[in-house]
Amino acid sequence: MGGLFINYLSDVLPHTRRLSQPACPNCQTSFSWAAYLTLRACASCKKRRGLRTWLVQILTVASFTYFWLFPSKLVGIPLGLIILIYFGIITVIDLEHRLILHPTSIAGAFLGLITGTFIHGRENGLLIGVGKSLLGGLFGFAIMLIFHQLARLFTRSRARRRQAAGQEDDGEDALGDADVILLGVLGLMFGWPLIWDVLLLGIVLGGVFGFLFVIAQLLQRRSPGEALMAPLPYGPYFVASAFYFLFLFL
Ligand SMILES: [Zn+2]
């Protein structure tokens, strides 16, 4: 069920921004709900469902089973499973479209506020719980906004140098707005000061995998400049970090 939901939202939201009838990515023919939910191939062009559809199904069933048996000590079973679904949707959409959408951001902010209040409110009472959640959200949002602005300055000066060298501006942003929103959501979810841990681990993960990525690019004989400048999505690393602290830590 959870896997179907993740696949459904990942299929329709980036294209229509609303809960619409899913359509075949190959020929745009709408799926019937029965065919869509039973993962059958497209009736019109016979193209089978993508690898991601199956991967998400398998991973969701496996992780639901695992976290049912070994629930998160921080958030418990029901909230934990909702968060898993949310992480699944934003990760798939981020990886496939490099995009964070308003509906998922708003839903995430609510989910984050509830989770943060739950985590911090259990011992300290509702008011302090809400306060810590909001403070974490503000911190996550602000710190990412600062990173983002610095990255933008860096990209601009690079664009000027490229123009001076007669090359075209590639118009790439080193860090996306998506990450600012994501860190705001994770900040609400973890609250202050736990958001620090999520932020730092996310940066470390991004750094390690970014380094491996650059090495891989160099091995494929790209020029060092090109390899260093390839844009890296940071969102999945922060989600992985949040996942670790919610479900595997403790
Ligand atoms: Zn089709």
Query: Per-residue pLDDT tens for 167-209?
Result: 655 544 545 678 889 999 999 999 999 999 999 999 999 889 8
Q: Distance, CA 56 to ligand 1 centroid (Å)?
A: 20
Residue 27 · residue 44 · CB < 8 Å: yes
Q: Distance, CA 94 to ligand 1 centroid (Å)?
A: 24
Residue 226 · residue 217 · CB < 8 Å: yes
Q: How far apart are CA 93 and CA 157, in angstroms?
A: 30
Strand partners, 30: 23
Note the pLDDT of residue 129: 92
* Model pTM score: 0.83
Q: Kind and range of the H or E element at 83? A: helix 77-97
Helix segments in 2-101, DSSP class H: 2-16, 33-37, 51-69, 77-97
Note the pLDDT of residue 1: 73
Q: Distance, CA 45 to ligand 1 centroid (Å)?
A: 4
Residue 202 · residue 241 · CB < 8 Å: yes
Q: How far apart are CA 142 and CA 146, in angstroms?
A: 6
Note the pLDDT of residue 231: 56
Q: Distance, CA 23 to ligand 1 centroid (Å)?
A: 8
Which stretches of the chain score pLDDT less than 50? 171-172, 174
Q: Distance, CA 134 to ligand 1 centroid (Å)?
A: 45
Q: Distance, CA 84 to ligand 1 centroid (Å)?
A: 30
